[in-house]
Structure 1
Amino acid sequence: MVSVRAFLVAVSAMAAVVVASNVLVQFPVDGRLGTVDLADVLTWGAFTYPLAFLVTDVVNRNFGPRTARLVALSGFSVAVVMSLALATPRIALASGTAFLAAQLLDVAVFDRLRHGAWWRAPLASSAVASALDTAVFFALAFAAVVPFGVDPFAVSSEPIFGLAGAPEAPRWVSWAVGDFAVKLLVAALALGPYRLVTVSR
Structure 2
Amino acid sequence: MEEAILRAAMEELTTNGYAAMTMERVAQRAGTNKNAIYRRWPTRAALGIAAYTQFVSTNTQVPDTGSLRGDALELLRRANSTFASPIGGILRALLAGARDDPLLLAQLQERTADAGSAPWLTILARAVARGELRPEALHPRVATVAVVLLRDEFITRGYPAVPNSVLADILDEVYLPLLRGRGTAHPPDPSG
Pair in the same fold by TM > 0.5: no
TM-score normalised per structure 2: 0.40
From the two aligned structures, give the one with the greater strand fraction: 1
Q: Computing the radius of gyration over CA atoms, which structure comes out larger, 1 or 2?
A: 2
> Does 1 or 2 have the higher relative contact order (CA < 8 Å, sep 6+)?
1
TM-score by length of 1: 0.39
